[in-house]
Each structure stands twice: as structure tokens, then as C-alpha cells.
Amino acid sequence: MTSTTTPDTGTTSAPTVMFASAAAAAGPEHVEVPTAYDAILLAGFGGPEGQDDVIPFLRNVTRGRGIPDERLEEVAHHYRHFGGVSPINQHNRELKAALEAELAARGIALPVYWGNRNWAPYLEEAVAEAEAAGDTTLVAIATSAYSSFSSCRQYREDFARVLTETGLGGRVTIDKVRPFFDHPGFVHTFITGVRDAVATLTADGVAPGAIRVLFSTHSVPTADATRSGPAHLDLGEGGAYEAQHLAVAEVVMAAQETEIAWNLVYQSRSGPPSQPWLEPDINDVIEQLPSQGVEAVVIVPLGFVSDHMEVMWDLDEEATETAAEHGLRSIRTPTPGVDPAYVTGLVDLVLERVNGTPKAERPAMTNLGPWFDVCRPGCCENVRAGFKPAASGVLP
């Protein structure tokens, strides 16, 4: 189909750089006409794979954000504890292989290129490799399910940066599948995880009233949360980011046979104490639970797609230790990883774009979805970092 040029003009002064988008010609929000994609771009966060990688990786992550060295050393310690290796790259190798197997089984001839934002293999290499093979109309899957600067827009800004830096912006287009927080393929693992954990606890004699389910996600600056999602949706101070998590948590609990109390909690806060971030912190909530008659916590990593460092350290080390210190039993439920339901769901998300599936026929488990295919100008903008152009967007 015809490509149009679609700058994300943002809310401040627009730069002259423009990025063609295959999706943009079709409409402002939901692309309901077929798009002939050449390939899938699997876009990961990236992580270190040895002690020597740790500091250079952290510098990449925090580039331009002025995060003090003390904080970098603090975070480096989490990675060093595990030999300087984050499992996140291995997860993405496995996810790429699982996607390729699923595509082959369904007879879909779309190659998968994998590149990361913050560590090798970088997005730059993946895009250059695709272009060299003649694959120029790309649909990206970011390994992140929700709307916010860190979980959506930052990927889009990196696509734009890569298209500029490689000089391929006039030739390669990168669209992005919709934020998939309420796609059944993503939600599945959390539903079964809570079910299994509650079954284990009740089989051991814990009363349902003594169990608390804590849905945990990455905290973000409150200013980012408020700006998450398109400006025309007024979703309160927590923005689309909080609203989406709350809606998915409700769906997960509605699918349970037993009624259990639950909370949405936040983890992995960074940044200066003077800057407000989403609260409450998971550890602060756990500390309060014994006085409320709770004996066991089910920790659900709702904001994450795999067992990477934020899960291994902040949940499996810190939150688990906090629970133990307060005499609570804890079970951490699985992340989607390469769960067949998740892998199938990701391929379905690509196919709805290939086929131009009407919005009404797209699966979505919450009333918020199905979320938009193409982001409006200013969607999830980071006011602290200022305006940067983003790919996979559209004019209003």
C-alpha cells in the first residue's frame, strides 16, 4: 500500500525529520485495511551478558537522563549478583525462535529480526539487516504491553532515532502492534498463575481471606503516568498506564473461582526522592499485611513479559525477603515468557495488521481496548526529557 509521511509533531516545536509510516495512510487510529508487511521487528530492552557489559549497558539505559553514578553502582550491584548477566537477551532469543516456529506452523512467510534498545544486538543492526535483505516495511513487536513513555513511546523514539542514524528513514518504515495489555494471549499466563498459586495455598490450608494478591508493575514518574496514552482520553492522574493495569488486574481476578482481595502495587522506583513516582511500593504494602490478617501473598508480575532483572531482583529477592521478614508466605507467579498462548497472541497481533481486521473483531479483555494501532502526536510524551520525534505515529 502507499506510504505517507507522518511526522509526530508533538506538543512543542516540531523537528524537520519525518518518518514514513505504512499504517498512516489507512486512518488515524485503527488500521483496518490490509498492510503488506515484509518482516517483523522484535524490539527488546537489552541487557548485559557479562560483568564487563554492566556499566556500559547502564550508561546506555540512562543516557541523557542525568542519573547519578551512585544510583548506577546501586543498580550494577543487582546485575553483579547474577554474574553480570541479565537473562533478558536469552529470553528474546527464545521468543524469536518461538515466534518463527509459530509463523512456520501457520504458513506465514514473515522473517523476524530482533534488536534491542540498550544492548547488542542493537535495533540499528536489525533494521540494517532487514533492509539489506529487501525487507523495508516492518511491523514491530515491543516486549512491553502497556502505554507510557518507558513502555511504548521510548521504543517509538528509538525507532525514529535508528531510522535517522542509519539514513534509512526514507526507505524503511516501522509500524508497531498495539499495546497488548488486554490481549488474551498476554493475560492468559497471569490468570493461570493466580489460579495455581491460590490452589497451592488453599491446599496447604490457607484460608482465602488470609491470601492477598499483589499485582506488581514498574513505577514511573507520576508526570509520565499522567501523560500516558492519547491526550483526548481523560484517565486521571495515573493516565492510561495505571488504568490499563487496574483493568487487567480486574479481569485476572474476575477469572478466578475464589474471591481474593488484591492491590495494584509498584516496584523498581528510581530517580530523586523529590520527584513523585507512582505508589504504593510493593514492600511498603507487604509490611502492612500481617496487621490485616494476611498470611500469604501472591505476587503477580503484571507489568513484565519475562523473568528479567526487575523480576529476579525486585520481586524474587527484595519483595520475597520483605514477605519472609514479616512472617508471610509468598508465591511469585510466572511471566508470559514463551507461553504458547502469548506467542500465538503476538502472531495474532501481527496478523490483525496484515489483514486489516476491523476494530470490532479484535480481541480485548478490558473495556479500554482494543488499544490504538497508531499513536497520536504527543502520546506518552516525556515532559522531562523534552520532545523527540517518534515513529509508528500518525497526524491527528
Binding residues for ligand HT9 (CB under 6 A): 45, 47, 58, 61-62, 65, 67, 71, 75, 86, 88, 144, 148, 150-151, 218, 220, 270-271, 303-304, 308-310
Name the minimum Å distance from CB 324 to ligand HT9: 23
Strand-pair category, 112-116 with 261-267: unpaired
Tell whether residue 122 is among the known ligand binding residues.
Answer: no
Neighbours of 289 (CB within 10 A): 22
Give the nearer residue to ligand HT9 in terms of CB position, either 45 or 371: 45
Is 86 annotated to bind a ligand? Reply is yes
Nearest approach, Cβ of residue 352 and ligand HT9 (Å): 22
Pick the closer one to ligand HT9 by CB: 86 or 137.
86
- 218 assigned to a ligand binding site: yes
The answer to whether the annotation marks 81 as part of a ligand binding site is no
CA distance 22 to 336: 29
Supply the minimum distance, in Å, between the C-beta of residue 220 and ligand HT9: 4
For residue 338, how many C-alpha atoms fall within 13 Å in the half-sphere facing its CB? 14
Could you tell me where the DSSP H helices lie in the chain? 54-62, 69-81, 88-105, 123-132, 154-165, 184-203, 222-226, 239-254, 282-288, 309, 320-325, 340-355
Nearer to ligand HT9, 179 or 393 (CB): 179
Cis geometry, peptide bond prior to residue 340 (ω within 30 degrees of 0): no
274: which residues sit within 8 A by CB, 6+ positions away?
A: none
- Of the pair 71, 329, the CB lying nearest ligand HT9 is at 71
| 8 A C-beta contact, residue 306 and residue 143 | yes
Contact 213, 260 (CB under 8 A): yes
Q: Measured between alpha carbons, how far is 304 from 69 in angstroms, rounded to an integer?
A: 26
CB nearer ligand HT9, residue 7 or residue 84: 84
Cβ proximity to ligand HT9, 306 vs 320, nearer residue: 306
Residue 57 or 262 with smaller CB distance to ligand HT9: 57
Here the cell at position 1 is 500500500
Q: Is the dihedral of CA 126, 131, 135, 137 positive or negative?
A: positive
- Least Å distance, CB 157 to ligand HT9, is 12
* Count of CA atoms in the C-beta half-sphere (13 A) of 139: 27
Cβ at position 82, least distance to ligand HT9 in Å: 9
* Least distance from ligand HT9 to the Cβ atom of residue 166, Å: 22
Which C-beta is closer to ligand HT9: that of 65 or that of 106?
Answer: 65
Interacting residues of 36 by C-beta distance below 8 A, sequence separation 6+? 1, 137, 354
Q: How many CB atoms lie within 10 A of CB 320?
A: 18
Query: Shortest gap between Cβ of 388 and ligand HT9 (angstroms)?
Result: 13
What whole-number distance in Å separates Cα of residue 368 and Cα of residue 8?
23
Cross-strand pairs, 41: 113, 140
Min CB(21)–ligand HT9 separation in Å: 22
Nine-digit cell string for 34: 490490509
Q: 352 by DSSP, 3-state: which?
A: helix
Residue stretches of the annotated binding site for Fe(2+): 218, 310
Residue stretches of the annotated binding site for Fe-coproporphyrin III: 86, 155
